[in-house]
Amino acid sequence: MDRQKMAILPVVIAVLVFGFQYCSSPKFKNPETGRVARVGMSEAQEAALGLQSYREVLRTAEVVRSGPEVDMVLRVANRLTAATGEAGRKFEWQVSVVRSPQANAFCLPGGKIVIYTGILPITKTEAGLAAVMGHEMAHATSRHGAQRVLQSQLANTVMMGAQSSLALGDMDPQKRQAVLAAVGAGAKFGVLLPFSRDHESEADEAGLLYMARAGYDPREAVTFWERMSSAGGGQPPEFMSTHPSHGTRIARLQQLLPRAVQEYERNRR
Ligand SMILES: [Zn+2]
């Protein structure tokens, strides 16, 4: 076999491995949005990973144990977790408040929530906090972390196939570097990166329903995002770097509002 033909072999293997990884990964259907996606981790693996990260975050943070901020966060969390229905039933929800000037909040896979005190002046009301928390909880119940793990596994397979092929083939070094850079650009699915647009839309949709079902006016989600986009002055808050509040998000939320308002009226206390 000449070198050129041999170079095809890793590609063929990579395609086979890619196909196997993709087809053998289980499907998950989001009960709120109906969206079906493939995942790269089991729910038990997600829960274990989430718990581990939660402990790591809290170990180095100043955890607020009591006081009005904690009371409010717990109250909102309790109402929201009860509203996650089927998707959140197996979760062992837990929430911590961290003293920090960072305007940030997140929910780890499996339901471990962290709220930074720096976001409270922007959330302002309980409904504003419910908008943030509902959105973050929806990332977890929608299993976006497990979907990203699969994406990164698939990207690795592509990278390995391309690299072995280029190593074997007779491509000139310059061309080779360009191809590698292109493939590498598709392999940027790190855990700390912002969620994709699809995942953001889905978290917006499910989060809005959680909030409405929990008895918080979903219209306040729109005012929260408006406040968020104008907050921070020169330096945008942490939350903004992973959740850009473009006009498109506000417009999309407005589209989703009628269904959420209906849900809110039905669950009004
Ligand atoms: Zn998000």
Using one digit for the tens of pLDDT, what is the confidence trace for 39-55?
A: 988 999 889 988 988 99
pLDDT at 60 over 60: yes
Residue pLDDT, tens place only, 86-105: 888 889 999 999 999 988 99
Q: 49, 146 in Cβ contact below 8 A?
A: no
pLDDT at 269 over 70: no
Phi then psi for 113, rounded to 5 degrees? -105, 140
Return the pLDDT at 179.
Answer: 52
CA of 80 to the centre of ligand 1 (A): 16
68-81 and 126-141 helices cross at what angle (nearest 10)? 50
pLDDT confidence tier of residue 246, bands split at 50, 70 and 90: confident
CA of 136 to the centre of ligand 1 (A): 6
pLDDT confidence tier of residue 190, bands split at 50, 70 and 90: very low
CA of 182 to the centre of ligand 1 (A): 27
CA of 132 to the centre of ligand 1 (A): 9
CA of 97 to the centre of ligand 1 (A): 19
197-213 and 144-168 helices cross at what angle (nearest 10)? 170
Return the pLDDT at 178.
Answer: 57
* CA separation for the pair 136, 53 (Å, rounded): 16
Known catalytic membership, residue 69: no
**pTM to 2 decimals?**
0.83
Domain that holds residue 262: 1-269
CA of 139 to the centre of ligand 1 (A): 7
Residues 6+ apart with CB under 8 A from 144: 195, 199, 202, 203
The average pLDDT across 125-146 equals 95
Domain count, the chain: 1
Looking at residue 243, what DSSP letter applies?
S
* CA separation for the pair 171, 155 (Å, rounded): 22
CA of 200 to the centre of ligand 1 (A): 5
Paired tokens of 162: 């391309």
pLDDT at 264 over 90: yes
Return the pLDDT at 36.
Answer: 95
The average pLDDT across 243-269 equals 88
Q: Which residue has the tokens 């959740």?
A: 243
CA of 111 to the centre of ligand 1 (A): 14
Residues around the ion ligand 1 (C-beta < 5 A):
203
Residues 6+ apart with CB under 8 A from 167: none
Catalytic residue among 32, 136, 202, 263: 136
Name the more confident of 254 and 5: 254
Return the pLDDT at 153.
Answer: 78
The mean-pLDDT minimum among 166-180, 224-238, 251-265 falls in: 166-180
